[in-house]
Amino acid sequence: MKRIIARTTAVLLAFAAIFAYNTHDAKAEGVDVSAASAIVLEATTGRVLYEKDAHNKMPMASTTKVMTAIVALEYGNLDDVVTVSKNASGVEGSSIWLSVGEKMTLSDMLYGLMLASGNDAAVAIAEHVGGSLDGFIELMNAKAQEIGAYNTHFANPNGLPADGHYTTAYDLALICAYAMQNENFCEIVKTQYKTLPWEGHEWDRVVKNKNKILWNYEGGNGIKTGYTREAGRCLTAAAQRNGMQLVSVVLCAPDMFSDSMALMDYGFQNYQNRVIMETGEFIGDVSVDDGMEDSFSVYTDKDIVYPLTDAEYEQIKRSVHLDDKVKAPVNKGQLVGTIDLWLGENRLYSVELKSVYYIGENSYEFNLNKLLKFWTNTRMLDM
């Protein structure tokens, strides 16, 4: 009987697990940071490469605006025209000098928000996208829960001191990693200078990004600075090298830029993204009882990549659990096995293996129905 070669789809079940030995004491690894709380992780897998008191709840100043921007991008339209309210124009702190009644596209507002850290832009965006300030804050908190930032709560869109406004370095890193998946967000936060229109003036605004990582660090491509007296200096930073996207967060960090560069140096020097399962790897054959085909072969359909040290890469193991035999019919998407990828005793991924083809039952009833269907269709064509 004809043998079918069917590639099954490898479906990612478990996101990268965070292990105790993935995190390290700062002094033990030679990472010396001034920050009260710090973390660096690889953004695509979520693997924590280093942390220091990363689960302490702390104020985060204008790094809040990372969430403001991503909610605006997901719920707003970049071409929308935002009209500045009195409430937005009068906000204290850093500003892009918005006037009551001034109009600006949401796109330009976001550049003013993320480059110049405009508190006025944050409120104008929130009122426009959320319908009200409170409505937008609800969206921010809902998005935090969706991302998994469970120890985060927002009370405003700009990061000014407020009761119930806090995050952790870990949560903020998750939020940043999520935001860096959005192309529009990435384009905004990597921009060094931006010219914005200025109603009522003969010249335009020119805003400069406050994030020195963009100038001073190889591969730097984001994200956001922050400062208040209560929160201290805060920075979310990002850089990409050799296909690895790192995100670092430092909270209450007197030397925030040096801290962030030291954290990312540690990540790039000690880890690299490794392919631990390649597209097209043959996994095995599955026999089919009473089927129109007697078996099918199982292959992987994607690369699985994970950040590892040299020593860890040598320790990667896999365990394959594949059905020896299944009974027809075999449905498209039917689970036929799993692959578990391990680092020591810790499972990195569990990958489902599924059939991508339907294999019919080779039975008298099945063949009779097939013949009757063919006969009926033929008679209809003859009429």
Catalytic residue set: 62, 65, 117
DSSP for 56-71 reads S-B--GGGGHHHHHHH
- The alpha carbons of the chain give a radius of gyration, in whole angstroms, of 27
* DSSP helix/strand/coil, 4: coil
Three-state helix/strand/coil letters over 253-308:
CCCHHHHHHHHHHHHHHHCEEEEEECCCCEEEEEEEECECCCEEEEECCCCEEEEE
Query: How many whole angstroms separate alpha carbon 202 and alpha carbon 219?
Result: 37
Angle between helices 169-179 and 133-147 (to 10 degrees): 100
Query: How many whole angstroms separate alpha carbon 149 and alpha carbon 159?
Result: 16
Query: How many whole angstroms separate alpha carbon 34 and alpha carbon 2?
Result: 67
| Cβ burial 253-272 (10 Å sphere, 16+ → b, else e) | bebbbebbbbbbbbbbebbb
* DSSP helix/strand/coil, 359: strand
* Amino acid at position 150, single letter: Y
